[in-house]
Amino acid sequence: MAQAQRRAVECGVPDPAPFMHPSLLKNKGNWKYHDRPRPGVLHHVSHSGDQVWSVRAGTQRQMDTYTIRTLCDIADKFGEGFVRFTIRSNIEYILADQKKVDPLIAELEKHGFPVGGTGNSMSMVAHTQGWLHCDIPGTDASGVVKSMMDELYHEFKNEEMPNRLHLSTSCCEINCGGQADIAVIIQHTKPPKINHDLVANVCERPAVVARCPVAAIRPALVNGKPSLEVDEKKCICCGACYPPCPPMQINDPEHSKLAIWVGGKNANARGKPQIMKMVASGLPNNAPRWPEVNKVVGDIIKAYKADARPWERLSDWIDRIGWPRFFEKTGLTFTKYLIDDWRGSRANLNASAHVRF
């Protein structure tokens, strides 16, 4: 131990100025308008008369250092040495010179980075951790995202949607991916299998009991050891007990299914922000490419693309056409499991004679 222990410098969030493209720094807070000369390119005009072109490209998010260095090489050659990332893991190059736009696009595509994800396109799927790194995942994240983006590649590179389309995936019901126009989320269908030998050593039992949203867990003596038991009739298979108590194994290769949710909207544009709704479940966790999930997501996107009017987000479209027609047009089946019975559920029932025929 030759080295003295170094104490952290608690420097916090860095000042972004040194990392910003000079044109952005100079025109900060002074932008006038923008347009989109082609999919994947934003053209911003400042009150000062300055202009910048931002070229957006998709990445795999989980990047190896070779990929990041390649992206840097491209930035040094065409983008004045600066980049930024969007919330959906797209990379953006900022150009003060319009002449560099086409060569930059050619270079990005040559290295396999699709240019797109702007305006009314489908952007990259908001991404979680999954089998690669999380300690509680029912499925993978990077693989699900990769297989979805392969299928929907055209929709990333073109602006053919009624409005922007955001997707997310989550590998457990915690939903780190957040809500989206279309979200794919694990839905367990069997109560946890408890490894009673381990509970006493690993779990803080009162904390686990308190974690259950339906009070289905109670302390119990099993084979003479302190453990926990689950009232399986009450259990809603949410998996909330699993993170604080890994011996309550909720993940199951067969019975952990995937559910599809739609109509989440975070923007305030037009209607207020909306929480997404479940529209399908029971899809198999079919690694490595999840074809059944991709089929349902693809069908929803096809129906939305064909039928929604300009500027309608998925939730606006459903507001107009109504739920029966949503299920009809997407080919999905409305089942009893989609009728809410959680707290506040009556607000989700139709308290009117409004029926579309």
Partner 1 sequence: MAKQLHPTPNLDELEKGPWPSFVTGLKRLAKDKDYMVDVLGHLEHSYKTRKGYWKGGTVGVIGYGGGVIPRFTEIKNEKGEAVFKDAAEFHTIRIMPPPGMHYDTGTLRKFCDIWDQYGSGLIALHGQSGDIMLQGCTSENVQPAFDAINEMGFDMGGAGPAVRTSMSCVGAARCEQSCYDEAKAHKMVVNTFLDDIHRPALPYKFKFKFSGCGNDCMNAIHRADMAVIGTWRDNMRTDDELGKKWFAKHGMNELVNDVVSRCPTKALQIKDAKDVRKGGDISSVALDDTQCLEIDNKDCVRCMHCINVMTGALAPGKDKGASILIGGKSHLKIGSLMGTLVVPFMKLEKDEDYQQLVELAQTIIDFFAENALEHERTGEMIERIGLVNFLEGIGLDIDANMVTNPRMNPYVNTGDWDEEVAKIKAKKAAA
> What residues line the site for ligand SF4 (CB under 6 A)?
128-130, 134, 136-137, 170-172, 174, 176, 191-192, 211-212, 214, 216-217, 230, 235-241, 250
Could you say which of partner 1, ligand SF4, ligand HEM, none residue 62 binds, taking C-beta under 5 to 8 angstroms by partner kind? Answer: partner 1
Type of residue numbered 257: K
x-marked contacts with partner 1 along 23-42 as a string, rule CB under 8 A: -xx-xxx-xxxxx-------
Considering only residues 101-130, where is the footprint of ligand HEM by CB under 6 A? Answer: 129
One of 176, 220, 236, 338 touching ligand HEM (CB under 6 A)? 176
Looking at the Cβ atoms of 217 and 279, the one nearer to ligand SF4 is 217
Query: What is the C-alpha separation between 210 and 219, in angstroms, rounded?
Result: 11
Q: Is 112 left (phi over 0), alpha (psi -120 to 50) or beta?
A: left
The answer to whether 202 contacts ligand HEM (rule: CB under 6 A) is no
* Residue with Cβ nearer ligand SF4 (240 or 297): 240
Nearest to 185 by CA among 287, 243, 257: 257
| Number of neighbouring beta carbons within 10 Å of residue 248 | 27
Q: What is the DSSP letter of 251?
A: -
Site string for partner 1, 329-348 (x = CB under 8 A): -------------xxx----
CB 269 within 8 A of CB 307: no
Q: Candidates 5-13, 173-181, 187-195, 230-238 — which segment interacts with ligand HEM by CB under 6 A?
A: 173-181
Task: Give dist(CA 114, CA 153) in Å, integer.
Answer: 8
By C-beta, is 22 or 213 nearer to ligand HEM? 213
Assess 290 for contact with partner 1 (CB under 8 A): no
Q: Which is nearer to partner 1, 221 or 269 (CB)?
A: 269
Helix 65-78 and helix 101-110: axis angle, to 10°?
160
- Contact segment (CB under 8 A) with partner 1 among 96-104, 192-200, 305-313, 321-329 equals 305-313
* Residue 246 interacting with ligand HEM (CB under 6 A): no
Contact of residue 268 among ligand SF4, partner 1, ligand HEM, none (CB under 5-8 Å per partner type) = partner 1
Residue in this structure with the two tokens 């308290």, named with its chain if needed: 351
> Can residue 106 be called a binding residue for partner 1 (CB under 8 A)?
no
Distance from C-alpha of 1 to C-alpha of 135, rounded to nearest angstrom:
32
- Listed as own residue / partner, the contacts of 190-193 with beta carbons closer than 8 Å and 24 or more positions apart are 190/237, 190/252, 190/255, 191/216, 191/230, 191/232, 191/235, 191/237, 191/250, 192/230, 192/235, 192/239, 192/241, 192/242, 192/248, 192/249, 192/250, 193/248, 193/249, 193/252
Examine residue 250 and tell whether it contacts partner 1 (CB under 8 A): no
C-alpha distances (whole Å) from 213 to each of 204, 241, 281, 351 are 17, 9, 21, 27
DSSP 89-100: S-EEEEES-GGG
Based on its alpha-carbon atoms, the radius of gyration of the chain, rounded to whole angstroms, reads 24
Q: Which residue has the tokens 């119990």?
A: 220
Tell whether residue 174 is a contact of ligand HEM (CB under 6 A): yes
CB of 88 to partner 1, least distance (A): 10
> Interface with ligand HEM includes 222 (CB under 6 A)?
no
CB of 103 to ligand SF4, least distance (A): 27
By CB under 6 A, residue 134 contacts ligand HEM: yes
Instruction: Please tell me the count of residues contacting ligand HEM according to CB under 6 A.
Output: 8
Least Å distance, CB 185 to ligand HEM, is: 12
Rule CB under 6 A: which residues touch ligand HEM?
129, 134-136, 174, 176, 178, 243
